[in-house]
Amino acid sequence: MADEPHKLAALRRLNSGMAELERQRRQRIDRGEDAATVDRETAQVALTAVADFFHAYGIEAKPLVRLLGELAALTAGSAPSRMLRPAATRHRRPDAPAVEAIKGRLAAIMEFRQKTGSTRKAAAEWVVQHIPSEMKGRLGSVRRATVDSWLVKWGGQRGGRPGSGREGYLAMRAILEELRPTGAQLQKIMQALARSLPS
């Protein structure tokens, strides 16, 4: 048990280090550095810190070390190994979970607008008009019918296809029901969602 205070102190240092990494990541992106490169380099440093922590306390770290090696190879310009290639699929490749979750959250915003007085058409159009530009690049072409289709797919009290989209919808719906934000506040929420998207 004597080692417990040391572990707690090490965990606190790790937590502070991760917070500082994220702060530096935002600064670099805000200065105009390539977001994908910054994200990859930040992930490498973060994984190194976690792997070091694991080694220090006798926790198996090889799974993380393998991933760290793959990221380092990408940074050096190597082609992705089979480990990092997308799985084969017969259909259109699914969105990354983070992107699907954002779509679910936007569906919840559309639903909230509808519940607070907008028509379904106007609610979807409002979402389309207020999607931040940096988010549009990740979501692709978004039209009113697109946002409506996300609500059909993931919305509702009990329905909705399971997965990240549904989880994002439910999380945002709970936030909106509690906060009851204004239109201006909804725009700030959407801007925060844009910043949360991976590069």
Sketch the domain layout of the chain as residue ranges.
4-83, 97-196
pLDDT for the residue numbered 93: 66
The answer to whether 73 and 67 are in contact (CB under 8 A) is no
Instruction: Note the pTM of the prediction, 2 decimals.
Output: 0.62
The answer to whether 82 and 177 are in contact (CB under 8 A) is no
d(CA 155, CA 129): 20
**Residue 146 CB partners (closer than 8 Å, separation 6+):** 128
Of residues 1 and 127, the one with the higher pLDDT is: 127
Q: Check pLDDT > 50 for residue 141.
A: yes
Q: Check pLDDT > 70 for residue 90.
A: no
**79-83 long-range Cβ contacts below 8 angstroms, 24+ apart:** none
pLDDT for the residue numbered 158: 75
pLDDT digits (tens, 9 = 90+) for 10-68: 899 999 999 999 999 989 988 988 888 888 899 999 999 999 999 888 899 998 989 88
For residue 1, name the pLDDT band (cuts at 50, 70, 90).
Answer: very low
Exposed/middle/buried for 173, CB within 10 Å: 0-12, 13-18, 19+? buried
Give me the mean pLDDT over the 173-187 stretch: 95
